[in-house]
Each structure stands twice: as structure tokens, then as C-alpha cells.
Structure 1
Amino acid sequence: MQDGQRQKMADKSLLGLIFLCSFLKGTSGAITYLHVFSSDGESVSLPCENALPNCTSTTWMYNGESSSGTVVLFEEGMKRKDTERRERLSLGSDCSLNIYKATTEDRGHYVCRKLNTEIYDDNVNLHVLHVSPSSTHTEITPGRSFSLSCQLYDHDGYSCVRLFNKEGFELVWKNKTDVNLQSDSRYQISFSPEHCNSSLTTTLLDEDNNTQWRCEITKGEDVQTSVRYTVTYLVNSPDSKTLSGLSLRVIILIIEIAVFTTPTVILLWIICERRAEDRRRGQDTQNTVM
């Protein structure tokens, strides 16, 4: 290899090291990530440590589901006008990034970059928890099998595996009295760290109407966030079709009453009128004779 080519490769390697160093945090020389968890629809705040006052040296960047690459959200404390979802984003007094009513599309990797004499980055991963029933359910009634899916939306599947297998996070199902359902044989719970998902399946009982199950993401004894789902039986809350059928039957009954009773009423009225007329005529005859 020629000396010129070696020098170019060395220059590229040096530039790569300089770029990497701009993302390093702490004295260990390794990037550290802060994990922030939110439930779907919950407002959340992403911290930016040791930012200077007025946030004029603070830039927030995002890379995730709703972007095709790294997107600048705030630059030197000012919100970018071309930022999607900008109406839901704001900066706190400590330069934290506030997201109003976070959705699953807000998940991803955020960077708070502070420019002073050096560059300091805070790396934050936002995870959003969502619970929903299986799409195969057409009717929620006693005696039927029922499944719930607890999905942790993450930037990538590898991050989920690292969270659950290496960092000690768990997805846990509980009832409204805070009892862990994992050891209850009535419930079948399956967990897939590769898909960031835990599912709960059971056969519904009569007493399950208006009951509540909760999915939590925990680390040790600490609950990071949770989502609740309440089961409601349709039989106790008539739908529009039932109401429409009831209304139709009432209308038909009224029509039937009107059809069959109106001629009878008219006939009785005619008979009464004729009898009254006959009585008047009889009285007029008696008066004439006298």
C-alpha cells in the first residue's frame, strides 16, 4: 500500500474517532443511555442534565420511527419550524424535552447536545407501552377465550432484548388488587423479548365484567410505567342494533293498536250519536202532542 493511501486511511480513522468522541459520556469512555418509559397517551419529559440557563446552548435531536434519519427538534433553544408534531413539543425551564400525550410513534433515540467549551450529549431512549385486545375477538362475553397484548414500542428489537435479558426490566401482568397473575393457573402468559411483547389469555367468567387487568414494566421493585385495560360485556350495555330493534317493535305495536282500535272507536261514536239523536227526536214529538 502506498504512503498516500495509508495517510488517507489514517485521516479517515482519526475523523471517525473525533466524531465518536462527540457522543461519549462519562469518564468510562462508553456511551450511556437513559431509558424513559411512557404509556400510550401519557405526557412525558426527557431530561437534559446540566444544561446552561435559557437553553441557548442546547440542541435536541431525534432518530426513530417517525423519521428517516436524524432530525433536529430544537436548535440553540429554538424550536425548528419544519419539525413534525411540533405542537406537542416544548422545552422545560431546565431544557428538558416535554412531549404532550406521547404516542407509539414518538418512540426512539433522543439526544440532548450541550455546546459550551466542549460537546456533551445526553442519550435518551423513549419506550412507549400499549395494551390492546387481540384483533380476533368479535364478542366479549362470558365463556369465551380472551387475549390481551402488552407491547413495548421500541426503536429496534435488539434494544428490547438488551432491556429484558441484560438490564433486568420485566413486563408483568397484575389485577386491580395488585396481585401478580403469573402464578395463577387461570391465566396463560407468554413473553417474547425479541418482539417486546407479553400476552395474557384467559376464559372469561361472569364476574369478569368491568374487571381490570394491568400491564407494568418494572425493574426490581420499581414500576417504570403501566397501562390498564377494563373488560366490559356487551350484554349489559345494549348496542345500537338492539336499541333499534326494540324501537322498531314499539313502533309496530303502536301502529297495530291504532289500526285495530281506531275503527272501533269511530263505530262507537257513531252509535252514541245516533242514540242521542233518537232521544232528541222523541222529546220533540212529546212536546208537539202536548
Structure 2
Amino acid sequence: MSDKCDLCLLGLIILSSLLTGISGVDDVHEFISSGEKVRLSCNNALSDCKSTIWIYSSFSHSYSNHSETIELITLGIKKKDTERHERLSLESDCSLNIKNVTEEDYGLYICQQYVNGQKQGTDAHVFLHVLHVSSSQTEISPGRSVTLSCQLYSYSGFSCDDWVSYKGFDLLWVNQTGVDLKRDSRYQILSSHQYHCIITLTTTLLNEDNNREWRCQLTHRNQLQTSVTHTVKYSAQADSTTAVNPSLYRVIVSIVEIAVFAAPTVILLQIIHARRAGRKDSKHPEEIKMPAILQ
């Protein structure tokens, strides 16, 4: 019963926060790539983080069928019963650090201040948006088609149409030198801006694509916000069938060269030997001198 009450209270806190200006001018938006570390600022912190509470909310109807509301930090102390526990840390200014960010970390983070059970000031809202690249292919080798999907995971209150049409955000795939891959007919680039911000890259792999990098970039009015790099890695078996070790290659070339130059000499010696043998067999008996002792 106590757990249910705590959950209800936490829900009321979240609802109150949402109704008191979730889209206010003081809201902060952080864009980060999966695998990196992010710092979420608490701009309403008091002098002592012992009054700080960090709450995470991800009620989204776009990416999952359930909502999630979790208290991560309670009066300056990390909650140990959360999946993020090992990846969280609190700085001296009460900012929340998250290392090794995953696509599951996107959502709304709320920083609140409580002193003697009384809420102090207004809530600080930080929206975390995570850029993530995935591939459905398990076997990567030359001649196979590969599709990479780059998605921006955002809080449900923001549609991709809003980000692209009104706020000037965009997703694109570029090569190692930063050139947009839409310019290359070898790649098929498809974008979806209706509900989810997704851009896919499809191509047929070549031998020289091993260790090649493709990068998905999130830009805002042509200014880079964050990016995710995907490196093509062929399996050891694929490598051995498509490439020859340089040292082995040089040995093979040397053997072939020796064989090419030596072959005519061997053939000539065989011809000379055969002719000599033929001449000896054709001599008449009288032409063969008898040893002096027998004459």
C-alpha cells in the first residue's frame, strides 16, 4: 500500500510539472549519441545538493506501450534500485551525469529542490534526445546488401515534423570526408519525418568497404549537434577470401616469376639432351672404333 502511495505521489509531481510549463523558455534540450556521456544541468539548485531530487519520465506512445516514471536521485543520494545506477553520478553543482548513454535513456529529466519536505522554487526541465544507429544484418561480407537505420529518440511531446519543418533540424548520412551520401547513386537514402525521425542507408558492400566509416549526423540549421559513426567490419572468413596477406602475395609473385624465366631454359636443355641421345643411337657399328687392345 505504501509503494502505491509513493507511486501516486510521484505521478502527481510529474503531472504538476507538466502542467506548469513543460515547454517553457527555460527548458533545456540535450542531443547526444548513444555510447557517449552527457551532463544534465540543474539550474534551480540550492547551495547544497542534499535538497536535490532528479526524476526521469518517458511516457511515450511512440516508442513503447508503457510509461515510466523513476526517481533517480533523492535528496542528493542515488537510488540503487534503478538500471541506470552504475551509469549515474551527481556533480557538485547538482548536475546529473549519465555515461554510456543508450537509446533507452531518452526522455524528460526533472530537477527539483525540497527543504524540510517543502518544494523550493520551480522545476528545471531537461529533455534528452538520443541519436542511435542500428543494423539488422548479422553477416557482413562483400556482395551482400546492408541497411543502416539512424533514429533520433525523442520525448513524445515532440514530433519529427516539428523538429524538421519548424525548428530546422535534419538527419543525413555522410562519408568519412563529410560528403552527403545522397549525392552518390550507389547509396539509397530514405527519410521518415512523420512520427519518428529516421533516416536509412542501403547499399551493396564492396571489397574495399572493409573498415569504411559512414556517419549519421543531426544538424540544426546546418550546425552539427551530434553524430554517430558506423564502421563496416568484415568477418575473418570474408577477409581471407577477398584479400591476400601482402607477405604471402610477394612470395607467390616471386615463385611465378622464377617459373616463367626458368621454363624456357628447362625446355631447351631437354631438347638438346634428346637430340644427343638420338645421334648416338643412329651411329653404324663400323663407325664405332674398337678399343686398341682388341685390334
Q: Is the 8 A contact 1:22 1:119 kept in 2?
A: no
Query: In structure 1, what is the equivalent of residue 84 of structure 2?
Result: 85
How far is 1:20 from its partner?
6.0
Q: Distance in 2 between matches of 1:171 and 1:222?
A: 11
Unaligned runs of 5+ residues in structure 1 are 1-14, 240-290
Work out which of the residue numbers 21, 25, 34 in structure 2 matches 1:24. 21
SS in 2 for 1:237: helix
Q: Distance in 1 between matches of 2:109 and 2:121?
A: 16
Residue by residue, what CA displacement relative to the aligned partner does 1:57-78 show, whole Å, maximum 9, x if unpaired?
Answer: 3211111279844221112222
Aligned equivalents of 1:85, 1:133: Cα separation in 2:
25
TM-score, normalised relative to structure 2: 0.64
Distance across 1 between alignment mates of 2:18 and 2:220: 30
Moved more, 117-126 or 170-179: 117-126
Report the secondary structure of 2:162's partner residue.
helix
Which segments of 5 or more consecutive residues in structure 2 lack a partner in the other structure?
1-11, 242-295
Separation in structure 2 between the aligned mates of residue 139 and residue 30 of structure 1, nearest angstrom: 46
Cα deviation code 1:231-281 (max 9, x no counterpart): 233355359xxxxxxxxxxxxxxxxxxxxxxxxxxxxxxxxxxxxxxxxxx
Residue of structure 2 equivalent to 1:146: 146
Pick closer, same or farther for the CA change 1:23–1:94 going to 2, 3 Å: farther
Residues 171 and 217, structure 1, Cα contact 8 Å, conserved in 2: yes
Alignment partners' CA distance in 1, 2:124 and 2:160: 20
Aligned residue identity for 1:197: I
Residues 36 and 101 in structure 2, CA contact (< 8 A), matched pair in contact too:
yes
Find the counterpart in structure 2 of residue 101 from structure 1. 100
Distance in 2 between the 1:21 and 1:238 partners? Answer: 58
- For the 8 Å contact 1:23–1:31, the answer to whether it is kept is no
Which residues in structure 2 correspond to 1:1-290 (within 5 Å)?
Answer: 19=16, 23-24=20-21, 30=24, 33-64=27-58, 68-115=67-114, 118-135=120-137, 138-141=139-142, 143-156=143-156, 158-193=158-193, 194-234=195-235, 235-238=237-240
Give identity over the alignment, percent: 49
Q: 2:81 is paired with a residue of what secondary structure?
A: coil
Shift of 1:201: 1.3
- With over 3 angstroms needed to count, the CA separation of the structure-2 counterparts of 1:30 and 1:186, relative to structure 1, is same
Deviation of the 1:46 alpha carbon = 0.9
Distance 1:186 1:231 in 2: 16
Q: What CA distance in whole angstroms lies between the structure 2 residues aligned with 1:115 and 1:130?
A: 35
TM-score, length of structure 1 as denominator length: 0.65
Supply the RMSD in Å over aligned alpha carbons. Answer: 3.1
Number of residue equivalences: 219
- Amino acid in structure 2 at the alignment position of 1:161: D
What SS class does the counterpart of residue 152 from structure 2 fall into?
strand
